[in-house]
Each structure stands twice: as structure tokens, then as C-alpha cells.
Amino acid sequence: MTRSPARPGTRAPRTTRAIVVRAVLLTLLALALTFALDPFRNYQLAVIAATFCATAGLTLLVGLTGQLSLGHAVLMAAGGYGYALVAGPAAEAGLGGTARFALGILGALVLSAAVGGLLGLAGARLRGPYLAGLTLALVIALPALTTQVPGLGKDQGLGVPFEAVPAPLAGLMVVEQWHAWIAVVVAALAVTPLVVLRSGRAGLRMRATHGDEVAARLAGISPARVKVGAFVVSAVAAGLGGAVLAVVTQSVSPGRYSLAFSLLLLVAVVVGGLGSIGGAAAGAALVVLLPWLVEALTSAGGLSADLEQRLSGNLALAVFGALLVAVTVVWPGGLAAASAGPRGRLARALRRSRADDGPGPTSDAAPAPASDPTSDQASYQAPDQTPDPLPITER
Amino acid sequence: MRNHTPVPTPQPGRSTAPPAVRATAAASAAVVALTLAACSTPAAATPGIDDDSVKVGSHQPLTGPAAAGFSSISAATKAYFAYVNDNGGINGRTIDYVVKDDGYNPATTQSVVRELVQEDKVFAILNGLGTPTHSSVLDYLDQNGVPDLFVASGSTTWNQPDEYPGTFGFNADYVVEGAALAQYARDEDPDAVVCVLGQDDDFGETFLEGVELALGADGVASYQTYTTSSEDVTAQLGAMKEAGCEVNLLATINGFTAMALGTAAQMGWSPQWYASSSGGDYPTLVGFLGEEVGPALLEGFVSANYLQNSPGSDWYELFQQINDEYNDGAPFDGNTVYGMSVGYLFAEALAKAGDDPTRESLTEAVESGALVGNGILPLTFGADDHAAYDGVGIAVVTGGVQDFVGATYRVDGDAVAAAEPAPVPLENEGIPTP
Amino acid sequence: MDRLVLLVSTGVARGLVIALFALSLVIIWRAARIVNFAQAAMAVAAVYVAFAVQQATGSYVLALLSALVVGALLGVAVERGLMRHVAGRTPMPGMIVAIGLVMVLQALLGIFFGPKHRPMTPVLSEAPLYVGDVPVLSRYDLFVLLVALVVVVGLGVLFNRSTLGLQLRASAVAPEVSRLLGVRVPRMVTIGWMLSSAVAALAVLLLVPTELGLNAHSGDVLFVHAFTVAVLGGLDSPAGALVGGLVVGVLISLVTGYASAGLAPLAVLALLTCVLLVRPGGIFATKEARTA
């Protein structure tokens, strides 16, 4: 795999300790931020944090191993149902507080890891579009699954026990802020291991598998194991996000985890920059806030009722689609690349898209190993991810 | 800290909360209450209402696959409120109706309802549409003490005064509709083979319960279901035709009622069709089937309703007038009457909630049983009944006009019985008075 | 027995449309190595034009022709204006751009035409014809069958018996060599897009009269089924698309008829999972296809 020298200005996390320290600082910052927000903004922050869990896992999966999952909503749903199926009975059994929450989270972990593992096994055998097809069929089948499997509450879903503000904090905050705290902390716990993995050997293996499976195999890496591992890790993160959403909204139902939501997660990671965790955070904020912003704009604009009704919902969708197209075509690094030096990236992207004009996409048909770092967006992250020469502890 | 912050009050009805949580919640409530008391917040604590106006919110599917057929409801309600406001409002207050689109997606419902409560600071939520969507915010509205009036769905979920003291339904529930339609089928022809086509969710199942209430557990020859994701009911109708069905009861939304009729016609099969009020609106169905074939297919079509849809009735004419004047003359159909009737009922509740309504006095007004509404039967609201109607009238399409035929049924406990229609007369130009 | 015949024939009729749409996905995959997620949205846009033409002229033939032409033009526009500028040697960036395009197109259709379903009546009767006492396909189903056959035979002749077809196949399999031999590969890609989008528009035009009416989302379910079918049969295989389409159509119909409508998506998922477990490149996959 060819490698460009690390550019100045990129901050690649070097050691696990540095990553954890940074994560703790960011988490504390986010927790402090909640005091500046009103309840609705705190609710939005909680939803963003939950979505971030899923996009962080997805960006790793798509960006590093090159597996396109259209079913990440199902993995979030698995986490949500896992939580509800354990926390609900726990509440009925009289259990409360931290124990119930922890058990619920455990349920979310188990169920999402199981679903992720199965998908990973499929992903290890299937190539791009075939995996996309399978995950698409899965996300379409989710409502049917919840209707047909007893105990999943059909289309109304399941209720989730209410998590009140603990007594010592009750004077400090209202329930929305407490839920934002839960969401931020769980997101930190879900995402930090991903960052550690990404910057360590596991990340290197993922990129190697994506770059050239044969070469990876020669280097002693088992592509199947790497792919399954990536899927499970990504699924667990998404599942934690689903559990958080279940807690925050006190319910889990199939309607939330539709194909449209799966595609929005994809929008988030592409616009954020494939492979970039920071980009995944920005993308998560974008998909949560943009529809609300657009709605606020259209309803404030003094439009006719009919036009407002037609724009409502559709306009945000159009913006998402346009962003997805524009970022992929013009600006393949996404927001992450933008923050790392917009001009250089843009110029490179333009140069490359011009260079590709001639042959046209058919040249793909040639079984060219994608060893060229410009072969897709994912590899754009390569410079940031130059592996540490020193062995890194993977915990 | 803001004075409107939701207090995690212990809810006696929340069976899921174990004692420990309740104790915690109670303690938190006490602490928050103390904190609030410490903050210098004005006492006029009821959000969304002042001397000149009252703000209510709603979530409706304006976009997405479910938007067709439903998006006109909130427009009609808005038009009715504009009419009331132009005539001086209720107790001197104008009504400001904030409608947010949820695309029939529970995730969006949860977000927009929080926005309505916390950002727009609405006084109450009115006519939130859809069973899966509205179910996802029941707990939230309950915990925040927001009145949740006249939900637009016939689920029996809304009628749980102990669990959700602030939630009230509007539609006659699906049990009532199923029972009434089945009883009418039995009364018309005791020997008819009756079948049911239902949506594969709460709608279909609750409707079937009602049908079995009237006909007994083995009274349904064939029960078929459809999902809204697949626009094809050929297989289901094939099965029903083979089962020899003569009367088909439909727990379907308008689009699928049209599909069922159209598909059967293509099979060369013409049984009798009995549809619930959620899928029995003649103008909407003609829109789906097309002007050429619609009227012919719909001749003799039976449906249930509880609102004053009779062309020529005083209410119908008033609503038509309001529709022309305040709704840009939008197509006038069952949804228009529905939306305006919801508006009327809310205005009436507001009028009867006192000179300075609070959230409590609003729900008390509904529970008091003093509301009369504008249906063809008396309202049944009470302290232990949060359903609006326990009966429906039967309407039949004759010569392209859908009108009540006089047959009316009410469900009392487990029994369905014929009743006398008692349409509420129009008074004071349709503007409720205290 | 009657019921079985009815269900199978309904399944075949629906399956034909799915097969036709899946075929369009196969054409585009072979030509450009792209899974065109926007295929259904583009086709629905073309059918809106066809609908307007039918309203204005009352002629179904003109509507059909305009669907084909507008579909093809949309294909050219999307390829030249967008897809050509997508960088990358893997199919993924193209798929992502196509997903973005679906969102844009559906949003625009929703904004311009609103959420209403516009009813389209079938050109021929949908009443089933009887063989003895048993109801089988309707006239409209036979029409769909005929159209599907014409398309399949036409494409077969085009690809296998003409110079253009040879060039199309050559540039799909070995673009570099083809270029050296004087084939204008980019033009071949454009032609692939045209053919594919026109076939897709035709499939949606045939579908809409059997459903609720024309709406921005009319093609959604068809796309999902067709993509499943294309993956099931092998993205490189036209035969796979046809066989897969019929299998999935009949499967959905049988499961809905004998079990319940809610089980149908699960049955499709189960079928897909089983097939891909045994043959990761689809039923009709060739070894070469899997290296794509």
C-alpha cells in the first residue's frame, strides 16, 4: 500500500492514553455544555450523541473496511430492543436505578453484537453491492420482523422505563439534561474504543483488507476475521446508540429505524468524511439539526400554506441528497478534510475528477487492485492514519 | 432555570415505575419544586395562554407516504380556528394552531412534540395523528402534564384515564366501528358470509375484536391482512373470494379501501363493502379510483361515521362556507368535516374551561361531561371515560351521495345495540359559548 | 387448486415487472459498474411525463413512447452530468451518489406534484381470463408479458447480434483493450445508461396502473424487490434477473396468500440470505463477476 507522508497539521492520536485523555476532556466539555442549553436543545444533544454512536461505527466500517451497510438502522434498533427487552422486565421485577440501566445496556450490547456478528459473517463473504442488497432487504424486513416475532410490540414498539434524575442531581438539572448526560457518557464509552482501534493495529488491518485482500492475506491477516470484527464493533456502537435513544424517548419502535434513517446515517458519514470519527460527529449533528432548521426556516418564511406543506420534509431531503452528491463528487474528504486544509483537498479532488473524465467509469471493470490511495474516499484518510511504528496496546 | 421545565413528578398510573423510582422521582420533584420556588419566576405558570390568545400544537403527517389523505385535516382545523378568531375568539382569546409535520415517523413525532412543548410552549396538544406516532409521545405528554386532546386515531390506547389522565381520543374506536358494521351486516342479512380485511396492526386487530363482539368468535369466515408497504391485495382478495365472502368488512385506510374495491372489480367479483370511518370517505375514494370508474364501483358502499357528514345538514353547510372563506376553497371531503369538528370540540372545551383556563381546568372541562360536540350521537367523555363516541351511524352511497341511513349502533360494555341517532343541532353560528 | 393458480399467475404478473426492472439494474451494472439506486426515482419522473402526455393526448401508445424517450434522456443526463464525474475505482462512490440523487429527485417530485396519488387506469382489462373454471392471467398481465418478451428479445438481439452490442459487451468486460481497438468506451457507457433507464421507466409505467396511482414513491418497493432480485440472480446476469424476478414475484404472492402479507418481506430476506450463503455472487454468478 503506497503511503503519502503525513501532512503537517493533522493530529493523529498517537497512544491509547492520549486518546482516552482527549475523550475524557471532550466528554467533560460536552457535559458542561448541557448547562448552557434549554431542555429541547438538551434533547437534541442527546439524539445527536446517540446518532453519533452509530455514525462512528458506520464510518469505520465503510471508510476503513469498505463494506457498505444500508442496514445500520437495524443495528440501532437491535440495541434499542435489547435494552427494552431487559430493562422492561427488570422494572417489573422492582429493579431500578443504575442496576436496571446497566442490565438494559447489557441487553443492548448482546443483541446488537449478535445481529452485527451475523451480518459480519455475511459481509465476509459478500462484496460491495451484494452486501448492500442484503442489508437493504434486512432493513425493509424490520417492521415485518417486529410484527411477526411475538413480544416486540408490533408497530407501536415497546415502552422503556423512565430514567428520572438521580436525587443528588435533582436540584441541578431537569430530566432532559440528565438524559443528555447519559447520552454523552454512553457515546464516549462507545466511540473511544473505536478511536483506539482505528489508530492501532486493528485499524491497520482493516485498511489493509480494504486495500488489497490478497496482499493482506499474504501479510498474515485474515480478511474474514477482520471484516466480522469490524462489523461487530460497529454494530455494538450502533446498538449503544439505539439503547440511548430508547432511554431518551422512553420507547423503541420500528418506524424510527426505517430505510430512510439508514440512508441518513450514510449521509452523515459521507458528508463528515468517510473514516473520520470527528466527521461522524459533525455528520450526526447535521442529520439531526438540518431538518429542524429547514422546517423552522420554511415556517417562518411567510409562504403560502400549500407551498409550505409541499416544502416541509421534502426540502430537507433535497438538501441531504444534494450534499451527498456534492461531497462525493467534488469534495470526497467531507467535513473532516475541510477542517484539515480545504484548498489542498479541493484541488486534489478536482484534479482527480478531471483525470477520470477521459476513461469513464468503465475502467473499473478491470480487476485493478485498489492499491492506489486515491482509489476511493476512504483512503483519503490514510495520511492521518499512518500507523505508529511502535507497537500499540489494543485493549 | 426556566419556569416551564418539566418536573419529573411521580405518576400514579405508571405501572412500569417501581417504588424505588417513584421515591426517587418524588424526592427529585420536591427538590426541583424548591429550586423553582427559589427562582424568581412569575406565578402565571400556565404556558401557551395569556389574555389575548392561546397556543395549541399538533403533529400531522404532511409529507411522506401517509400524507396523502391526511394532510388536509389540520388545514381544515386551522380554517375553523381562523373563523372563530375573526368572530372574537373564545372568551376573548384567539386560537393559534401550530402544526408540525412528522411524516408519520415516530422519531420525528417525538422531536416535534418536544419542540412544541418546550420551544413553542403550547398550552395543549390537539389531534395528534396516528397510532404508532402518537403512542411514542404519550408518556412524555403525561409526565409534563400537557393536555393531550382528541387524538386522531381509533385506538383504544387513548382511553386509559388511570394511566394517561390528560389523554382523550376523538374517533369512535375501532371496536365500536367493527361491532356496528358487523351488526348492521347481520341485521341486513342474517345469513350473509362475513369476512374482514384489516391492516396488520392495532387497527385491524382491534376492529376484528369489535366484529367478533357482534358476530361471535366464529362469525368471521375469513380474516385477511395487508401491510401498507405493499400496494397489492390480490392474494388476500383471492382468498376471500374463495371463502365465499358476501360482505367484506374493511379495517383499511382510504388508499387500501380503493385498492380492495378496484382489485375485486378486476377479478369480476362484486361483494358488499363495509368500511370503517378511517377508510370510508366517498370523495377521497373517488379521487383514488378515478372519476370514470369510482362512482360506479362505490354505489351501495357502506361505511361508519359519527360526524355530521350529511350533505345539506346545517353543520355541513357551515363547514363548507368556512372552507370556501378560510381554506382557499380546498377540496371539501370527510377530512374537512373531521378537521373542523375537532376544532369545534376544542373551542368548546376551551370555552367551558373558565375565564382563566389552566391545563387542569381544560381537562376537567372535558371530563365534566358538559361538552356536546357536533356529532350524530352524544359525547361520552367523563372522569372514567376518555373516549369521545361509543357509537356510530351507518352511511350508504346512493346515486353518488354518501349519507346516513338512520341505522345507528352503540357499544355498551360487551354488547352492541341499535340506538336512536341524536344529531347535535347547530347553535350560535358554530362558535361555542361558555 | 383455483387459489394456487390465481396466486401463481398473480405472482408471475408482478414478477415480470420486477424482472424487467431488475434487468435494467443488470444493464447498468454491466455497462458502468454502478448499482443505480436512483433508477426508480428517475423512472417515476419519466412516468410523470408519460402521465401528462396521456392526459393531454389520450393515447397510451404516445405515453409509452414518451416514457421510453424521457427515461433514456434522463439516463444520459445523469450519466453525463453526474456519474461521469464520480471518481473511484470501486462501485461505492457511485452507489452513494445515486443514493443522493434518489433523495433529490423524490424531494423535487414531492415539491412539484404533492403527495397525491394520481390514478392511472390500465390500458387493457385486468379481469382474469378463464381456462375452464380457473382464473388465470388478465389481458393486462398478458400485455405486460408481451412487452417484457419484446424487451428481452430486443435486448438479446442488440447485445448478441449487432456490432453495437459487441462494442457494449467488449467495453464492459475489457475497457482498456476496447479503447485500444477503437471502441469509444465513454459513449458505450452512455448508451448503457440510456437503455437501462428506458427499460426502468417502462417497468414503472407497467406497474403503476396495478397500484394505487402515481406518486413520488411509486417505484420504491419495486426498486427494493428488483435490487434484491438482481443480487439474487447475480448482478452480471440478465438471465438471473428474469428468473429471480419470477421467483420473487411468485414467492411474495404465495406467502401473502397462504400465510400473511406481513411475512412476505421476511420470506424475501430468508430467500436472499440462503442463496447468498451458498452462492455469494448470486445464482448465476460467473467467477469473473465476483472480482468486480
* A376, pLDDT greater than 50: no
Give contacts of B164 with chain A, Cβ < 8 Å.
Answer: none
Alpha carbon B383 to its chain's center? 19
CA-based nearest distance C291→chain A, Å: 6
What is the rounded average pLDDT for all residues in chain A? 81
The cell numbers describing A88, all together, are 422492561
**Total of domains in chain A:** 1
Cross-chain Cβ contact A140/B229 below 8 Å: yes
Select from B80, B59, B83 the least CA-distant residue to B71: B59
Q: How far apart are CA B95 and CA B351, in angstroms?
A: 11
pLDDT, tens digit (0-9, with 9 covering 90-100), for B69-79? 788 899 999 99
- Give B222's DSSP letter: E
Give contacts of A262 with chain C, Cβ < 8 Å.
Answer: none
Residue A377's pLDDT is 37
Q: How far apart are CA B296 and CA A43, in angstroms?
A: 52
Decide the pairing of beta strands B53-60 and A251-252.
unpaired
Amino acid type, B325: E
Confidence of residue B201 (pLDDT cuts 50, 70, 90): confident
Give, in order, the Cα–Cα distances in Å from A255 to each of A207, B120, B146, C265.
35, 25, 24, 15
Give contacts of C92 with chain A, Cβ < 8 Å.
Answer: 62, 66, 68, 128, 376
Cross-chain Cβ contact C212/B65 below 8 Å: no
Specify whether the CB–CB gap between A267 and A19 falls below 8 A. Answer: no
Q: How far apart are CA A65 and CA A62, in angstroms?
A: 6
Residue A195's pLDDT is 92
* A348, pLDDT greater than 60: no
Give contacts of B135 with chain A, Cβ < 8 Å.
Answer: 156-157, 251, 253
Amino acid type, C177: V
pLDDT over 90 percentage in chain B: 69
pLDDT, tens digit (0-9, with 9 covering 90-100), for B229-248? 777 888 899 889 889 999 99
Select from C262, B94, B429, B31 the least CA-distant residue to A147: C262
Tell whether C287 lies on the interface with A, counting CB pairs under 8 A: no
Cα angle value A28/A29/A33 (rounded, 5°): 115
Of A164, A171, A306, the CB nearest to B35: A171
Q: How far apart are CA B338 and CA B348, in angstroms?
A: 15
The cell numbers describing C202, all together, are 417502462
Cross-chain Cβ contact A305/B78 below 8 Å: yes
Cα angle value C70/C75/C79 (rounded, 5°): 150
CA-based nearest distance C71→chain A, Å: 21
- Cβ pairs bridging B and C (under 8 Å): 87
Q: What is the CATH number of the domain that holds A265?
A: 1.10.3470
Domain residue spans in chain C?
A: 17-121+135-233
Tell whether A147 lies on the interface with C, counting CB pairs under 8 A: yes
Residue A329 lies in a domain: yes
By three-state DSSP, how is residue A165 classified? coil
Tell whether B47 lies on the interface with C, counting CB pairs under 8 A: no
| Domains of chain B, start order | 1-45 (no CATH), 53-171+309-389 (3.40.50.2300), 174-298 (3.40.50.2300)
* B188, pLDDT greater than 90: yes
Decide the pairing of beta strands B401-412 and A158-159.
unpaired
Residue A271 lies in a domain: yes
Give, in order, the Cα–Cα distances in Å from B37 to each of A71, B30, B50, B119, B360.
49, 10, 22, 22, 20
CA-based nearest distance A51→chain C, Å: 20
Cross-chain Cβ contact B258/C212 below 8 Å: yes
Residue A294 lies in a domain: yes
Burial class (CB in 10 A: 0-12, 13-18, 19+), C23: buried
CA-based nearest distance C266→chain B, Å: 13
Of A141, A361, A372, the CB nearest to C269: A141
Burial class (CB in 10 A: 0-12, 13-18, 19+), A220: exposed
Give, in order, the Cα–Cα distances in Å from A57 to each of A136, A274, C13.
18, 11, 42
Q: How far apart are CA A36 and CA A42, in angstroms?
A: 9
Select from A392, A307, A299 the least CA-distant residue to A20: A392
Domain that holds residue A381: 16-385
pLDDT, tens digit (0-9, with 9 covering 90-100), for B392-422? 999 999 999 999 999 999 998 888 999 999 9
Of B63, B231, B267, the CB nearest to C127: B267
Give contacts of A133 with chain C, Cβ < 8 Å.
Answer: 227-228, 230-231, 272
Residue B384's pLDDT is 92
The alpha helices in B294-373, defined as continuous H runs, are 294-298, 314-326, 334-351, 359-367
Chains contacting A (3 or more CB pairs within 8 Å): B, C
Q: How far apart are CA C128 and CA B237, in angstroms?
A: 13
- Give B4's DSSP letter: T
List all residues of chain C from 123 to 152 with a beta carbon under 8 Å from chain B: 125-128, 135, 138
Confidence of residue C280 (pLDDT cuts 50, 70, 90): confident
DSSP conformation letters of B59-102: EE--SSTT-TTTHHHHHHHHHHHHHHHHTT-BTTBEEEEEEEE-
pLDDT over 70 percentage in chain C: 96
Kindly report the number of other CB atoms within 10 A of residue C41's CB atom. 30
How many CA atoms are closer than 13 Å to the CA of A273, on its beta-carbon side? 22
Kindly report the number of other CB atoms within 10 A of residue B296's CB atom. 10
> Residue for cell digits 361538552?
B371
Tell me the average pLDDT across A251-265.
91
Cross-chain Cβ contact B8/A165 below 8 Å: yes
Cross-chain Cβ contact B232/C211 below 8 Å: yes
Give, in order, the Cα–Cα distances in Å from A341 to each of A10, A334, A375.
9, 11, 20
Specify whether the CB–CB gap between B197 and B236 falls below 8 A. Answer: yes
Specify whether the CB–CB gap between A182 and A174 falls below 8 A. Answer: no
* A214, pLDDT greater than 80: yes
Specify whether the CB–CB gap between C137 and C13 falls below 8 A. Answer: yes
Residue A269's pLDDT is 93
Of A143, A325, A374, the CB nearest to C100: A325
Q: Estimate the crossing angle of helix A72-92 against helix A259-272, to 10 degrees.
A: 120
Rounding to the nearest 10 degrees, give the CA dihedral for residues C262, C263, C268, C273. 130
Cross-chain Cβ contact C257/B236 below 8 Å: yes
Q: How far apart are CA C14 and CA C7, in angstroms?
A: 11
Residue A387's pLDDT is 35
Sequence-separated (6 or more) residues with CB below 8 Å from residue B95: B53, B54, B56, B81, B84, B85, B89, B346, B347, B350
Tell whether B293 lies on the interface with C, counting CB pairs under 8 A: yes
pTM over 0.90, yes/no: no
Kindly report the number of other CB atoms within 10 A of residue A256's CB atom. 25
- Give A167's DSSP letter: G
Cross-chain Cβ contact B235/C256 below 8 Å: yes
Q: How far apart are CA C31 and CA A364, in angstroms?
A: 10
Rg of chain A in Å (alpha carbons): 21
List all residues of chain B from 60 to 119 with a beta carbon under 8 Å from chain C: 62-65, 67-68, 71
Specify whether the CB–CB gap between B434 and B353 falls below 8 A. Answer: no
Give contacts of A263 with chain C, Cβ < 8 Å.
Answer: 99, 103
Specify whether the CB–CB gap between B256 and B279 falls below 8 A. Answer: yes
Select from A346, A342, A320 the least CA-distant residue to A331: A346
Select from B399, A392, B331 the least CA-distant residue to C114: B331
Confidence of residue C127 (pLDDT cuts 50, 70, 90): confident
By three-state DSSP, how is residue B393 classified? strand
Tell me the average pLDDT across C138-161.
90
The cell numbers describing A107, all together, are 441487553
Alpha carbon C291 to its chain's center? 24
The cell numbers describing A54, all together, are 452509530
Query: Which residues face B385 on adjacent strands?
Result: B382
Q: Where are the beta strands (DSSP E) in B140-285?
A: 148-151, 167-169, 194-199, 220-226, 247-251, 272-275
- Pick from A203-217, B20-34, B320-334 the range whose average pLDDT is largest: B320-334
What is the rounded average pLDDT for all residues in chain B? 87
Q: How far apart are CA B242 and CA C130, in angstroms?
A: 15
The DSSP H or E segment spanning B126 is: strand B124-126
Sequence-separated (6 or more) residues with CB below 8 Å from residue A273: A59, A279, A333, A334, A335, A336, A337, A338, A377, A380, A381
Tell whether C96 lies on the interface with A, counting CB pairs under 8 A: yes
Residue B65's pLDDT is 64
In chain B, the residue whose alpha carbon lies closest to the alpha carbon of C213 is B288
Tell me the average pLDDT across C180-188.
89
Residue C287's pLDDT is 52
Give contacts of B19 with chain A, Cβ < 8 Å.
Answer: 94
pLDDT, tens digit (0-9, with 9 covering 90-100), for A166-200? 988 888 889 999 999 999 999 999 999 999 988 88
Residue A393 lies in a domain: no
Kindly report the number of other CB atoms within 10 A of residue A219's CB atom. 13
